[in-house]
């Protein structure tokens, strides 16, 4: 039972509501009405990349609300043009065309719709552990959970396994063979396809799927599979974009540029803003064929003004390099916890997007979801907000994603609380 009886008036939309009710937030902390402070290691919904209530973002929101917040969708404004310029300057070529939307699911819908139109095909492939949203086409390409009970999905949605370095079945004496698994996955796709393969949509790190990172070289191999079949590659960087992994976009590490890139979460630093980026060639082809994705809040000026300021701050303050530096410190601390506790089965991820998996022990690597839940609750009691995803076939995985503005002292404090929570929840 939630402490506020008004919560009973809400439709429950997944999991349960936290008993902690923040009254305000600032920087890396959430504050209850009585002043109790809780360190936020998930940046809200992995979105508040500049921390909460960043003073420059507050200033931009106030100014935009007073001057220009919303327009007819066919009108362009200076904030929209400014953000379009900033994004295309930031992204590698040929990603030089942008559409601005509100949510990650919406941007993925727009990307899938564009891919289908320009290829003249309809089949979409995704990872079997993926999460791309809960709307129409995005939900049909989401396989991590939430598929049962809603009736048939759209026609032409296929899945292959994501690489799982710990539990992937394609093992040889010298280790896990993700290339063989990828080739096998596409062999199955070819057998199932009706000859209408349009796109592959992928997250560079499958966060909701258990913080599974695509190993170096995987994206290049995936892009080649797509190229040979005339498919477009869509990368969903909702959580990995805007510097969180230690590069501005996660795909940069692999030297691969997608045909279509979607951004959300981190782009708005906690406010509803998303973007689709593609090339001039694909945009022209889509336009010629009558591409339509009209929404009430496409190209809204207020969130666009925020997005432009987010980019300015990230570049100006060197926060991409900071994510790499802080991520190394955090990962070292989490690895030390793994060395000290058998229930920590693995630490993985990149930059300030890390996962810690809770298991019964490292010999069996069996899931211990009950202990993961206890650690989560204990962390909150001690003043640390953590999020755990529990998926079939793996332990509970904490998704650890502090803001890029987090201090070393805050990282160390979070690690101290996590260590105490693990030690006291055996």
Q: Closest Cα partner for 263 from 311, 221, 197, 321?
A: 311
DSSP 8-state assignment for residue 11: P
Q: In the structure encoding, which two tokens stand for residue 244, read together?
A: 């969180």
Tokens of 324: 């790499």
Q: How far is CA 204 from CA 16, 69, 110, 241, 369, in A?
A: 28, 33, 19, 10, 25
- What are the tokens at 411? 């990282």
Catalytic status, residue 339: no
Query: Which single residue is written with the structure tokens 């692999």?
Result: 254
Q: Is the bond preceding residue 139 a cis peptide, omega within 30 degrees? A: no
Check 109, 121, 131, 181 and give the catalytic one. Answer: 131
Which entry of 40, 109, 164, 203 is annotated as an active-site residue?
Answer: 203
Answer yes or no: are the C-beta atoms of 115 and 198 closer than 8 Å: yes
Q: Is the dihedral of CA 295, 298, 301, 305 positive or negative?
A: positive
129 is known as an active-site residue: no
Selected catalytic residue, list 82, 109, 121, 239: 239
The torsion of the CA quartet 239, 314, 387, 109, rounded to 10 degrees, works out to: -30
- Reply yes or no on whether 12 is catalytic: no
Q: Select which of 106, 109, 164, 236 is catalytic.
A: 236
Active site residue 192: no
Query: Is 45 among the residues known to form the active site?
Result: no
The total of other beta-carbon atoms located within 10 Å of residue 40's CB is 25
From the candidates 265, 309, 322, 331, which is the catalytic residue?
265
Annotate 86-123 with DSSP letters as a single string. Answer: HHHHHSPTTEEEEEEES-HHHHHHHHHHHHHHHHT--E
| Helix ranges restricted to H, 151-266 | 178-192, 218-229
Catalytic residue ranges: 131, 203, 236, 239, 265, 399
């Amino acid at each position: 039972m939630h402490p506020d009886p008004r919560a009973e008036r809400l439709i429950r939309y997944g999991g349960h509501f936290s008993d902690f009710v923040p009254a305000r937030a600032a920087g890396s902390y959430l504050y209850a009405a009585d002043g109790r402070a809780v360190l936020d290691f998930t940046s809200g919904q992995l979105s508040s990349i500049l921390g909460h209530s960043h003073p420059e973002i507050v200033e931009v929101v106030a100014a935009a609300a007073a001057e220009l917040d919303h327009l007819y969708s066919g009108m362009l404004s200076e904030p929209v043009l400014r953000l379009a310029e900033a994004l295309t300057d930031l992204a590698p070529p040929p990603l030089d065309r942008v559409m601005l939307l509100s949510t990650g699911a919406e941007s993925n819908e727009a990307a899938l719709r564009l891919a289908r139109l320009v290829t003249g095909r309809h089949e979409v492939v995704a990872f079997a552990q993926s999460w791309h949203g809960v709307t129409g086409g995005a939900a049909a390409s989401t396989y991590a959970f939430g598929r049962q009970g809603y009736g048939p999905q759209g026609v032409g949605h296929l899945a292959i396994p994501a690489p799982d370095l710990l539990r992937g079945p394609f093992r040889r004496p010298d280790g896990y063979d993700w290339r063989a698994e990828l080739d096998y996955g596409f062999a199955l796709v070819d057998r199932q396809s009706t000859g209408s393969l349009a796109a592959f949509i992928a997250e560079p790190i499958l966060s909701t799927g258990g913080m599974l990172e695509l190993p170096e070289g995987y994206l290049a191999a995936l892009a080649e599979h797509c190229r040979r079949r005339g498919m477009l590659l869509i990368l969903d960087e909702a959580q990995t974009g805007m510097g969180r992994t230690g590069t501005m976009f996660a795909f940069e590490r692999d030297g691969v540029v997608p045909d279509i890139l979607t951004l959300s979460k981190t782009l708005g630093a906690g406010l509803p803003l998303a973007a689709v980026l593609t090339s001039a060639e694909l945009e022209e082809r889509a336009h010629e064929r009558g591409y339509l994705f009209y929404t009430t809040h496409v190209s809204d000026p207020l969130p666009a003004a925020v997005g432009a300021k987010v980019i300015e701050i990230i570049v100006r303050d060197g926060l991409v390099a900071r994510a790499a530096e802080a991520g190394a410190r955090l990962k070292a601390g989490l690895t030390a916890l793994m060395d000290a506790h058998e229930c920590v089965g693995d630490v993985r991820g990149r930059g300030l997007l890390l996962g810690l998996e809770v298991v019964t022990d490292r010999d069996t690597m069996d899931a211990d979801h009950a202990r993961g839940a206890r650690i989560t609750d204990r962390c909150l009691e001690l003043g640390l907000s953590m999020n755990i995803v529990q998926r079939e076939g793996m332990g509970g995985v904490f998704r650890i994603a502090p803001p890029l503005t987090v201090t070393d002292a805050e990282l160390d404090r979070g690690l101290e609380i996590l260590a105490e929570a693990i030690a006291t929840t055996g």
